[in-house]
Structure 1
Amino acid sequence: MKWFSNVVTLVALVAPSEAALRFGCSTVTLQRLDPVVEPGQVPSAHLHQVVGGNAFNATMTGDIGEQGTCTTCVFSEDFSNYWTAVLFFKHQNGSYKRVPIMENDALPAGINGGMTIYYTQQDFNSNGNQHITAFKPGFRMTVGSPTQGADGLTKHKGLRFTCLDNKDTRFPEVSDFPTKPCKGGLMTEHHFPACWDGKNLDSPDHQSHMYDTQPTGFTPGAACPSTHPVRMPQLAYETLWDTTQFNSIWPTDGSNPLVFSFGDVEGHGYGTHADYMFGWKGDALQRAMNSSCMFTACENGKPLKSQSVTEMNKCAAKNVVNEKIDGWLDALPGHPKGT
């Protein structure tokens, strides 16, 4: 493939950089749609919390960066979509209530829910020792699966949880879903693989075109294998859930009342997962990866355009699925009562 041979040449010619992006995206929608795993299905099987461009819908094709009129992300050139399952609290009487999302204290104040998004190079300490190839228009991937069993969190090393003392807590990232109340809430982490096969923008399982060489979390990744030789940005999501408001009604029998929207009724957390659909405009992400900026230093045109929290929070996707998702519910959205 001519494009792939050009990438190999660029690896040798492009000077290494130290770029790392960390930025907030407010919630663009909360509804049952999944254009990657269940394209065209309205509604999809379970509820998602979504951030990014407002073109998000049941079916999305083509260059997502050229679709939509606004984005909920700090970087106004990022029309990508990022989404995860939603966390619920199950009361002992059998009813459910959605756990609110908290803003990250490391980000500007006032962001409406959403997530913290990272695009790093090899890690935070040794960035810049190799060329990073940005994702391409049409690229998409997932990490984790709602159907995975107890071995899922071992297989997917980038799926982790952190029981927070406060909103500044970042470690430890553990593979066990907390079974006791967390003082400051719960953070879910989704780290995606960063080695690409250089050919496919997607794969039937939405994962095989990528390969993970990181031992876990924000740690150095080993060299990419020959089957997936192209190093791409290390993408990660952090979501902070305000579980503290439920601590006073936490069950005393040792059961875990936190369940994900895909029907994790036993509260194991095995099926935690996340989806990504690339949608940066033009060469914006590649420019960032070629630069030496870190975090907020990448804003205000250096090299990425950015916007205010007010502008982020005004952006919203069209509501396609109309159903009740707030207040105490008899069942999880999309699931019969008792499942």
Structure 2
Amino acid sequence: MLLHPIFTTALLVERISANAVLRFGCSQIVVERLDPLVNPSVNPSPHVHQVVGGNAFSSFIPESDVSQLANCTTCSFSEDLSNYWTANMYFKARNGTYKRVGQIPNRFLDGETGGMTVYYTSPYDNSKVTAFKPGFRMLAGNAEQRTDGGVTKWNAICFRCYNAPNFGGDNYAPCSDSTVDTVALPNKACPGGIRTTIRFPTCWDGKNLDSTDHMSHVSYPASGTFESNGDCPATHPVKLPQLMFEVIWDTAPFNDRSLWPEDGSQPFIFSQGDSTGYGQYGDYVFGWKDDTLQRAMDANCFGATCSQLKSQAFTEANKCAVQNSVDEQVDGWLTSLPGMSGM
């Protein structure tokens, strides 16, 4: 079986493999123009991000143990003080105004406010992975990309158009079905919203916690994929857990075709000005406490509960906050994308 776990329509979760699959929700902690990975110390950064995780997030995050800098997290595992972020999705109406698209809480993660679902997965052959180290950070995707290619050859980044509410009978497999998954943004109205899936590189050079482009110190498998137990290249021999983001964009409120462009083209655009979807990307700054992530992976923990980890209810997680440091409007109807004058 090469698919991620299938969550049935019932309230029970069926486990189909013996490998570790952490799957948990993280509420939104802030939405603003800051990017401590690509634009450190720049305030404001060029475009808006939606951010989840620990409250150490700011325009600059020191390359140290983030778990010692943050004291709370919006994630349901309270020992995960990492930060995860993506560009925001906006709707562009026919009259040229923009409105930020919200997110739908994922299944079995009731109480999550906006945000995303985070996965950490070990190989299906149950081989050992090495958890990320304090100071580790990386990037998946390319915000400037506007054509097919790049990480898409590893089946790493895609969209799914839900044809009905409640996730439209989705089988949870990411980027695996060419009849429903697309690398470009869907070009039709999606009654149940649009799912974003971003899978990060799973091989590490074993030395560098970051690189100039935030990608060179990591790699996708030399052949095949992580799911097919593809080998890591000799240059990046250390196998990491597969980190994956899943965001369910609540596009249904914008499905009135009279508001769409007159030519019928899809009206959604990411905050860096990308209306193709090829520029979809994700950022990651590791911040798990001590060796908690390694212990969870070694114990083959599954879902949002793990005897090796401490959990918190979303009523507690949602109290964690970061004070917005950029004085600008990012919600409501806007005449242009924040930071993107003329767009």
Mapped partners of 1:291, 1:68: distance in 2: 26
**3-state SS of 1:101 partner:** coil
CA contact (8 A) 1:53 1:68 kept: yes
Deviations 1:174-198 (A, max 9, x none): 2131011011000111100100010
- The answer to which of 309-318 and 208-217 deviates more is 208-217
Q: Which moved more, 1:246-255 or 1:226-235?
A: 246-255
* Equivalent position of 2:271 in the other structure: 261
Aligned to 2:311: 306
CA–CA distance in 1 between the matches of 2:101 and 2:304? 29
Is the 8 Å Cα contact of residues 158 and 216 (structure 1) preserved in structure 2?
A: no
Q: CA deviation at 1:297?
A: 3.7
Cα deviation 1:145-171 (Å, max 9, x = unaligned): 111231346356311101113343235
Q: 1:162 to 1:215 in 2, by over 3 A?
A: farther
Distance 1:155 1:121 in 2: 21
Mapped to 1, the partners of 2:338 and 2:133 lie a distance apart of 34
Q: Given that residues 91 and 267 in structure 2 are in contact (C-alpha distance below 8 angstroms), is that contact kept between their aligned partners in structure 1?
A: yes
Select which of 324, 333, 337 maps to 2:329. 324
TM-score, normalised via structure 2 length: 0.87
Matching residue within 240, 244, 247 for 1:236: 244
Q: Secondary structure of the equivalent of 1:111? A: coil
The structural deviation recorded for 1:101 is 0.9
Offset at residue 224 of structure 1 (A): 0.9
Match runs of 1:25-174 below 5 Å: 25-61=26-62, 62-107=64-109, 109-122=110-123, 126-128=124-126, 130-150=127-147, 151-152=149-150, 154-155=152-153, 157-165=155-163, 166-168=165-167, 169=170, 170=172, 172=177, 173-174=181-182
Whole-Å separation in 2 of the counterparts to 1:127 and 1:258: 39
Contact preservation (8 Å) 2:54, 2:70 = yes
Q: How many residues align?
A: 312
- Cα deviations across residues 28-77 of structure 1 (Å, max 9, x unaligned)? 11011101100000000100000000110000011101112210001000
How far residue 252 of structure 1 moved from its aligned partner, in angstroms, is: 5.0
Q: Which of the pair is proportionally richer in helix? A: 1
Query: Is residue 188 from structure 1 mapped to residue 196 from structure 2 by the alignment?
Result: yes
| Cα shift at 1:216 | 8.6
Instruction: Assess if the C-alpha contact under 8 Å between 1:30 and 1:48 holds in 2.
Output: yes
Question: 1:333 corresponds to which residue?
Answer: 338
* Secondary structure class of the residue paired with 1:143: strand
Aligned residue identity for 1:159: I
**1:104/1:167 contact within 8 Å kept:** no
Question: Secondary structure, in 3 states, of the residue corresponding to 2:211?
Answer: coil
State how far apart, in whole Å, the 2-side matches of 1:59 and 1:279 are. 14
TM-score (norm 1): 0.88
Secondary structure at the residue paired with 1:245?
helix
Question: Helix, strand or coil: the match of 1:259?
Answer: strand
Q: Bigger CA drift: 60-69 or 113-122?
A: 60-69
SS at match of 2:318: helix
Structure 1 Cα separation of the partners of residues 27 and 255 of structure 2: 25
1:287 Cα deviation from its structure 2 partner: 0.7
Identity of aligned residues (%): 51
Q: 1:167 to 1:214 in 2, by over 3 A?
A: farther
> In the alignment, which residue of structure 2 is the partner of 1:225?
233
- Matched AA of 2:194: L
Is contact 2:190-2:251 (8 Å) kept? Answer: yes
Residue 312 of structure 1: how far off its partner (Å): 1.0
Q: Unaligned 5+ residue runs, structure 1?
A: 1-16
User: Could you tell me which amino acid in structure 2 is paired with residue 103 of structure 1?
Assistant: P
Distance in 2 of aligned mates of 1:218 and 1:110: 31
- Pair 136,153 (structure 1): closer, same or farther in 2 beyond 3 Å: closer
Shift of 1:296: 3.1
Distance in 1 (alpha carbons) for counterparts of 2:129 and 2:117 = 21
